[in-house]
Amino acid sequence: MSALSAAFVRLHARLAPVAFVPEVRLHQADEPIGLWELTEGEFRSDRPPPFWAFAWAGGQGLARYVADHPETVAGRRVLDLASGSGLVAIAAARAGATAVRAVEVDELAVAAVALNAEANGVRVDAELGDILDGDAGDAEVILAGDVFYSEAMANRVLRFLLRATRAGASVLVGDPGRAFLPRERFNELATYDVPVSEALESVRVKRTTVWRLRAGRPEAGD
């Protein structure tokens, strides 16, 4: 975590409880549009959107499930994929995971994860990098909140997660009805009505489902 990235997160997001998981506090932006333009404007087009600055519905639902079902992660090594703010990773650490690794492609998100973990008094190893063409390492549980928002991302994520299940990992996904979730691959675990930012989602509540990925036989392209 660079000092510059940490300072940016502190400047543009304030520490506050998460609406659906109030036992966790995150650095969250009050107003999304200005920050989005600041980090993704014409002079910063190479930087990912500031997913780290908001508690997205899929992550909130998945974090709620982990908090309410600590046996899902307790005593296990956890990977939080596309961690964003680190909400799900923090929930896993609070629930007793042996180790939590949070991976992100955005250096600001890595800083946010580190700051948020510190604010919640837990250990999360925040890592910068794209691991989707590789494997999940020694992770026993993989958690992914709101990752099926685009076709290109969904295809890469699914292949990664399927490889992980075939290696023996348990995979849980939180999703608020995104278009590219391959539901036929999953078993439903729980459903929640999650408060969200109307500026981001055009609604105030998103019906969000927690799914478990079924391990299947390798297919072409998996």
Highest mean pLDDT of the ranges 52-56, 198-202, 210-214: 210-214
Q: Would you call 26 helix, strand, or coil by DSSP? A: strand
Reported as a single tens digit per residue, the pLDDT across 59-72 is: 999 999 999 999 99
106-to-44, 111, 198, 222 alpha-carbon distances in Å: 13, 9, 24, 26
Total Cβ atoms within 10 A of residue 101: 23
- Which residue did the predictor score with more confidence, 144 or 51? 144
Spatial distance between the Cα atoms of 2 and 5, rounded to a whole number of angstroms: 5
**In the chain, pLDDT over 70 holds for what percent of residues?**
88
- Cβ–Cβ under 8 Å, residues 20 and 192: yes
40 sits in which H/E element:
helix 32-40
What number is the average pLDDT over the span 176-184? Answer: 95
Reported as a single tens digit per residue, the pLDDT across 87-132 is: 999 999 999 999 999 999 999 999 999 999 999 999 999 999 999 9
- Cβ–Cβ under 8 Å, residues 86 and 94: no
Q: Which residue is listed with tokens 């063409």?
A: 133
**206 — pLDDT class (breaks 50, 70, 90):** very high
Spatial distance between the Cα atoms of 107 and 119, rounded to a whole number of angstroms: 18
Q: Give the pLDDT score at 197.
A: 84
Q: Give the pLDDT score at 220.
A: 46
Q: Give the pLDDT score at 12.
A: 87
Enter the tokens of residue 51.
């997913």
